[in-house]
Structure 1
Amino acid sequence: MSKRGTVLHGRAREIVCNVDKYFESEKQRHLGLVQQLRSVSVFPGPGTDRNNITLTREVYEIILETLQNTSRVAERVQIATGINKNTLTRIRHEQRDAQASCSKVTTPKKKPRRKSIVCDNFEITALHNIINSIYTVRKEIPTLKKIFATAKEDLGFPGSRTTLRRILVESLGYRFKKCQSNRLALIQRPNIKAWRAKYLRRIRQNDALGVNKKPVIYLDETWIHAHYTVKKCWQSNTIPGVKKNDSAGRRWIITHAGGENGFIDGALLMFKSKTKTGDYHDEMNGANFTKWINERLIPNLPKNAIIVMDNAPYHSMEASRAPNMNSRKAEMQLWLREKHIAYDECYTKAELYQIIKRHQPPKDYVIDKIFNAHEFEVLRLPPYNCDLNPIEYIWNLIKRRVADKNVRQLESEIERITLEAIASITKEDWVKEINHVKRIEQEYWQREIFEDDDNFRFVINTGESSSEEENSTDSCSEMSGVEVLDSD
C-alpha cells in the first residue's frame, strides 16, 4: 500500500499504467457479453436442448454482477495497486502525454521550494506598526487575516499568510494565545515608550521654532551588491528579460547623511567590503565610523545642527562603562571604590550590581562627545523605530533606481550605477520622505497621548530583566521590546 506523500518512481508508474490498461481492455471485452447475457432466457430447471444454457436466477445474477463490475476500472486499479484516486488521475494524464510525445512515463521531478521571504529592518518595523495601528487606531483585534490584507495593500507583501505568520513569530516575537482578560492591547516596554516620547517631544519642540529651528541631519549606513536588480520585468519567449543572480557576492558599504536640503555635500563614504557576510557592521566599526565623522561629516555640517542616528554598536561606544552582571567581582569592587561608594566585602556579585545600578551615571558616548565639542546636538532614535529615520526611505529609493539600471549585474558597473543613483536624489525627494516621517511622528504622538489617558486600560509585563533595560540596542530585526497579549 502506498502512503500519502510517497513518490512512485518511473517503473512503478509504468506498472500502474499496465494494470489500468489491462482492466480497461477487460471492461471493453465484457461490455458485449453483458448485453448478450441480459437477453438470454433463464429456465427454472435443467433443459433438454444442448444449444441452450439453463441457469438458475441466482447463478445468472452472480455472473451478470461479476461482468458488470469490470466496468469500474478506476476502483479496481486502486484496489490492485494501493494508490489513491488523485494519483491515478495524474498517472493517466502522464500516460496520455507520454503517448502523444512518444516517450515513457517517468518519475516526476521535485517541485522547487519557494524561496523564503526575508524582510529587512524597515519592512519588519512597518509590519509592527500595522499591528499596533489596528489595536490603537482602528480599535480592532489584529487577526492574521487583517494583518495580511493590510500588509498586501500597504506594503505589497509578496508572501503567503503562512509566511507572514512565520515572520510575526520568528522576527517580531508575537504569539497567538488564549485571552486572559476582556481587554486586549499591544504594548512595548515602558522604557522604550518613554524613549520614543522624549525623542518626539524634542523634535516637536524644534519644529515649533519655525524658521529659527535647528537643521536636523539624519545619518545611517546601508549596503548594496552587484547583483541587486529587479524581481520582475516584461519578458516573452523571444525576450527573456533580466536574469537574476541569486549569489549576492561582494557588498559595497554606503554611509551618508542628509536633511531637508538633501544629502550633505562631501559626506558620502562608499567602499567595497572585504567579506561576504552581508552585514556591513563587520567592517563599519567604531574606528571607521569615528574617522568618517571627523573627516567627512563634521566639516560639512550646517552650524548648530541636530544629528539624528540610531543605536548601532559603533554609534554607542562608551568612554567609561559601568560594570554589568557579566563583569568580574573584582571589577565591580574597583568601580565602587573609584566612585567612593560604600559596600561590604562579603557582598555577592548580585548585591554589588544592585549598588552599581543605583549609582550608575548616564551613558557617556564617545560619538556624542565629538559632536558636542563642535556644538552639535545628538538625538538618538528609539530602538525598533527605523521608520522615524527618513534616510531609510532614501536608501529604498536609491536601491530601486539601482535595480532599474543594473541589467548586466557586473561588479565593474555597480559602483558607477550606485553613485549615479545617489546623485539623482534631489532636495524634493528628501522633503517628500521627511514629510512622510512627520506624519508617522504625529501618529505616534497621538497614540502616546491616547494611551496616557487613564481611561485607556492596558496590561504591562513587569517581568523584564535589568539587562534588558541596560542593553536596548537598536535592532529592528529583533522586536524583543514588544509584548503581545493576543493577536487573533
Structure 2
Amino acid sequence: MSMTGKKCLGSQAKATIAKVYHHIKKEKETGIINLTDVMWRTAQAVGYSECIITSILNEKQEDGECTSTDTTEETTTTPTNDINSQTKEIIARVYHHMKIEAEIENVRYLKNAKSPSRRTAQAVGYSQRTVFKIIKEEKLACADTSFMAQDITSIFKPPSKRKRICPKSTMDNYDLSLLRKTIISYQTKNHEMPTLKELKEIVSEKTGFDGCKETLRKILYDSGFEWSTADNHKLLVERHDIQMLRFRYLKELQKYRDEGRYIVFTDNYYVETSTRKEKKKENGTSKGVIIIHAGGCQGFVPNACLIYETDSASDDSLNFNNYKQWLTSQLLPNLPENAAIVMNNENCVFENCPDPNSSKSFMHVWLTERNIEYEQTMNKVELYDLILKGKGTFKSHTIEELVRSKGFQVLRLPPHHPDLNPMEHIWRVLKKDVVLKNVEQELTSNLNLIKERIEMIECSLWEYACRQVVDAEHQYMKYFDDRL
C-alpha cells in the first residue's frame, strides 16, 4: 500500500478517494456488502493509508463539499485526457480491488453483485467506458511486466498539456499607431500613464478594439511598453531603448529637413487575393501580392511601384534580391537629387545568408564573395560560425551602402512606429478599396485592380498623410520636452 503523503495528492485524486469511501460506506449500510471496516476496505482499494483518507475526508467536510455518490447510473463522462495520472492510478487500483472481491468464493452478497468495472465506475464517479480506457492503458504499459493490484506504480502518462493559444492582436498598423499616440497624448496632458483599464476604454472607443485586457497587455508589450514597479504599484512605461531610437530618428530627420532634402518614405504591403476559406483549407496558404512603393509630400515616386505574386505575407517573400533590384532599377533613378530615404526598420530587407543546413559549397561562395578568410578543411559548424560573425555587418550595411553610393541619405524608422510613416495612411485607403472588391477574383484581375487604385491616389492624400506624420513628430518631441 502506498504511503504517499496527502500533500502530494492533487484535488482530483482527493475527490476520487472521497467518492470511493462514500460508495463503500453506502454499500455496507445498505447491506449489499458485509466485509470488515469501511475505512480499511477503502484503504485497500485506493492504496493509501487510513490516516491519509481520514485527513482527506475531514478536509472535504471543512470545505463543505458533498462527496457522497449514488449507486445509480449517474457517472461523469470526463474524457480520459482530462484525468491526471494520479487519479488514473487510483481508479486502476479500485478496479483491481473490486475484481478480487468478485472472485472471492462463498460470499453470498457477491452472488448478484455487479461487474468490477460497473462497481468501479459507480465508486469513482466516472463512466464505465472511462474505466475500460484506463485499464487498457494500464495493460499496454505493463505488457511485459507482472502486475499486482497492490503494487501499481505511476505508469500512466500525464495528460498532454494543451497548447496555450496566444492572444491575437486585433489591431493593424494604423490602430497600433493610434494606440501609441493615445498613450503619449494622455501622459503629456495628465503627466501620468493611463491604467490598463482606462486605456482599454479609450482604445475601444477610438478603434473598436474588442479584445480583453490581457490581449491589450500583450499588444502593449509587443509595441515596446513594459511595466515598472514603483511604490508597490505597476506602472506602464515605454522602454528606454525605444525612446532613444525615436529621439535620434526625429533629430536626424529634422536635420535633413533643415538641409532642404526631400524626404522619401518607403514601405511594403501585403494584399491577400484568395479570401475564400475553402481555398485556405485545401493547402493552408493563400495567394497574395507584395507591393513595394515610395513617396513623399509630392506624391508617389514616379515608376517606383513594384508588385509581385507571393504565397504568404512572411518576411521571406520580401527577399533581398527583389528589394535590391527595386532600389537600383526603379527607386534610385527616379529620386530628386539630395533626397533622404526613410526605410521601415521593422521590415528591413536583408541579404540571404547561409543557414546551418546550407551546403558547404554555398557557405564557401558566401565567405569568398565577402573576403572572409576560411580554410577548406573546416567543417560546416566552423564555417557557419564565421558566417554568423560576418553576417550582421553585411545584413545591416549592404542596402545602406548602396543608397549612399548614389548620393542619397538613409534613415531607419524607429521600431513600433508606423505612425511616423505616411505610407501607412496610403495603405489603409488602398486596403479599404481592394478588400471590398477582392472576393473570389483571379490574381490577374487583382493585380490590375491594385495598379489602377494606386494610380488614382492623389497628391492631396499624400499631403494630408505627411501633415499627420509631422503632427505626430511634434507630439513626440513635446513628450520629450515635458519629461525634462
Per the normalisation by structure 1, the TM-score is 0.51
Report the Cα offset of residue 271 of structure 1. 0.6
**Amino acid in the other structure paired with 2:331:** L
Match in the other structure for 1:201: 251
1:415 matched to 2:447: yes
C-alpha contact 1:221 1:253 (8 A) present in aligned 2: yes
Aligned residue among 164, 172, 175 for 1:123: 175
Aligned residue among 265, 269, 290 for 2:306: 269
CA distance in 2, matches of 1:223, 1:421: 15
Report the Cα offset of residue 157 of structure 1. 2.2
Q: Describe the shift of the 1:318–1:366 C-alpha distance in structure 2 as closer, same or farther (beyond 3 A).
A: farther
Match in the other structure for 1:484: none
1:285 matched to 2:319: yes
1:321-346 CA distances to partner (integer Å, 9 max, x unpaired)?
A: xxxxxxxxxxxxxxxx99xxxxxxxx
C-alpha contact 1:257 1:267 (8 A) present in aligned 2: yes
Match in the other structure for 2:430: 398
C-alpha contact 1:225 1:414 (8 A) present in aligned 2: no
Report the Cα offset of residue 227 of structure 1. 4.3
**Amino acid in the other structure paired with 2:245:** W
C-alpha contact 2:274 2:288 (8 A) present in aligned 1: no
Report the Cα offset of residue 394 of structure 1. 1.0
Match in the other structure for 1:11: none
CA distance in 2, matches of 1:385, 1:398: 20
Report the Cα offset of residue 302 of structure 1. 1.1
CA distance in 1, matches of 2:234, 2:226: 17
Match in the other structure for 2:466: 434
CA distance in 1, matches of 2:224, 2:248: 25
Match in the other structure for 2:204: 152
The residue matched to 1:137 in structure 2 has which SS?
Answer: helix
- Percent identity of the aligned residues? 29
Report the Cα offset of residue 266 of structure 1. 0.8
C-alpha contact 1:388 1:437 (8 A) present in aligned 2: yes
The root-mean-square deviation of aligned C-alpha atoms, in Å, is 3.8
Q: Describe the shift of the 1:397–1:428 C-alpha distance in structure 2 as closer, same or farther (beyond 3 A).
A: same
The correspondence of residues 3-14 of structure 1 with structure 2, limited to 5 A, is: none
**Amino acid in the other structure paired with 1:146:** E
Aligned residue among 271, 277, 280 for 1:224: 271
CA distance in 2, matches of 1:270, 1:384: 25
The residue matched to 2:190 in structure 1 has which SS?
Answer: coil
Report the Cα offset of residue 387 of structure 1. 1.4
Q: Describe the shift of the 1:146–1:125 C-alpha distance in structure 2 as closer, same or farther (beyond 3 A).
A: same
Per the normalisation by structure 2, the TM-score is 0.51
**Amino acid in the other structure paired with 1:215:** Y
Gaps of 5+ in 2: 1-71, 75-164, 354-371, 374-388
The correspondence of residues 76-475 of structure 1 with structure 2, limited to 5 A, is: 118-161=170-213, 163-165=215-217, 167-168=219-220, 171-172=222-223, 179-180=230-231, 184=235, 186-190=237-241, 192-208=242-258, 213-227=260-274, 247=280, 249-273=286-310, 275=311, 277-279=312-314, 281-312=315-346, 314-315=348-349, 365-451=397-483, 453=484
The residue matched to 1:157 in structure 2 has which SS?
Answer: coil
CA distance in 2, matches of 1:176, 1:448: 19
The residue matched to 1:267 in structure 2 has which SS?
Answer: coil
The residue matched to 2:264 in structure 1 has which SS?
Answer: strand
The residue matched to 1:202 in structure 2 has which SS?
Answer: helix
CA distance in 1, matches of 2:220, 2:348: 28
Report the Cα offset of residue 225 of structure 1. 1.0
C-alpha contact 2:266 2:295 (8 A) present in aligned 1: yes
How many pairs are equivalent?
Answer: 284
CA distance in 2, matches of 1:381, 1:263: 19
Q: Describe the shift of the 1:264–1:138 C-alpha distance in structure 2 as closer, same or farther (beyond 3 A).
A: same
Higher helix share: 2
Report the Cα offset of residue 125 of structure 1. 4.4
Q: Describe the shift of the 1:317–1:450 C-alpha distance in structure 2 as closer, same or farther (beyond 3 A).
A: farther
